[in-house]
Amino acid sequence: MTLYDKVFDHLLVKMDAEKAHHLTYDALRAGGPVLSRAPIPGRAPVEAMGLTFPNRLGLAPGFDKNARVYDRMGAFGFGHVEIGTVTALAQPGNPKPRLFRLPEDRAIVNRMGFNNDGSAVVAARLAKRRRGDLVLGVNIGKSKVVPDDDQAAVEADYETSTRRLAPHADYLVVNVSSPNTPGLRNLQAVEKLAPLLRHVRRTADEVTAAPIPLLVKIAPDLSDDDVLAVADMALDLGLAGVIATNTTISREGLRTPSAKVEEVGAGGLSGAPLTERSTEVLRLLRGRVGDRLTLIGVGGISTPEQAAARVAAGADLVQAYSALIYGGPMWPRQILKAL
């Protein structure tokens, strides 16, 4: 058992999860310069989307919503970091408590609700930072006050974030798959998603000197047919890739007692329980798109073996977040040895 395991099991797991997250966040922020002096294994560059990634492993959005520490994360071994989700308007997110750990399942439930400083503040923050060879992805979502059934308003909302953030990003992700913003997942329907992505594409091209890779992130709860429909749409629109998958609303197969799960309530489930379905979705996508799109696998990657299996299933790159919280600062290096 590592020192981090002891701290997690005897201290962090007993604290309010959001407070513990901020403690972990601050510790990782402070520890970056120390770890930067230690060699990072598995530094095998990967070419994807016209970009050179130092390695296959990335930090998923949710950890650094507001672009405060992303430039420190390369020291832990991450080859890319995806910040966000960022919305056009600053918003506080959902009422607390809104972040919960399920240790028996190595899982996290969150209903954060896209709490973030807003695209104007985040863009200003990005403009002041240098990140070396770390690849930066920016994940954008819909502001809560914008109704999902008003297509013009939705497109205008994403346009605002795109104009502000695309010039600072290496790649851009449209997030329509979080379960914590009312109506957001309705935008995954191809008839709504395709025009939104076209609009984001046009906007990004207006504010960047060269075309920036554009991806869409989907939920594991889509049916297989809907996953394939998104794949076809991504090809038709000329997207750079698809990220599979976001959190799930399913609670099937959990080891955590049902009373505890009910007490936690609604929210997106991340971590180990997503492994099987996220891998299935990725395999479906790869079978449909061949080598024409970049696929980023995320969800339930906790062990080196699972990371390697996700690559074998078709992932060009992999991301994690929940596993970092459970595994601690040395976890990325363990994964890189398998990649």
Answer yes or no: is 139 a known binding residue: yes
Say if residue 115 carries a ligand binding annotation. no
Look at residues 272, 270, 268 and name the one whose alpha carbon lies nearest to residue 307.
Answer: 272
Nearest to 336 by CA among 17, 2, 44: 44
321 carries a ligand binding annotation: yes
Q: Is 271 annotated as a binding residue?
A: yes
> Residue 268, annotated ligand binder?
no
Is-contact 119 86, C-beta < 8 A? yes
| Sequence-ordered strand ranges (E) for 22-77 | 46-48, 51-53, 57-59
Q: Which residue, 105, 119, 42, is CA-closest to 258?
A: 105
DSSP state, 55? S
Other CB atoms within 10 A of residue 138 CB: 29
Residue linked to tokens 């989307």: 49
217 is in an annotated binding site: yes
The DSSP secondary-structure symbol of 14 reads G
DSSP string for 78-134: -SEEEEEEE-SS-B--SPSP-EEEEGGGTEEEE---S-B--HHHHHHHHTT---TT-
d(CA 80, CA 136): 6
From 119, 178, 270, 302, active-site residue: 178
According to the annotation, is 114 in a ligand binding site? yes
* Residue (of 278, 183, 275, 187) closest to 233 by Cα position: 187
Residue 303 is labelled as binding a ligand: no
> Is 245 annotated as a binding-site member?
yes
The answer to whether 275 is a known ligand-binding residue is: no
Determine if residue 73 is labeled as part of a ligand binding site: no
The reply, when asked if residue 111 is annotated as ligand binding, is: yes
Q: Which two tokens stand for residue 295?
A: 């696929």
110 is in an annotated binding site: yes
| Active-site residue, 161 included | no
65 is in an annotated binding site: yes
In sequence order, what DSSP letters do the residues of 208-230 get, joined into one string? Answer: SSSPPPEEEEE-TTS-HHHHHHH
Question: Do the annotations mark residue 70 as ligand-binding?
Answer: no
Query: Is 238 assigned a ligand-binding role in the annotation?
Result: no
Which residue positions form the known binding site for substrate? Answer: 65, 110-114, 175, 180, 246-247
Which residue positions form the known binding site for FMN? Answer: 61-65, 85, 139, 175, 217, 245, 271, 300, 321-322
Catalytic residues: 178
Which residue positions form the known binding site? Answer: 61-65, 85, 110-114, 139, 175, 180, 217, 245-247, 271, 300, 321-322
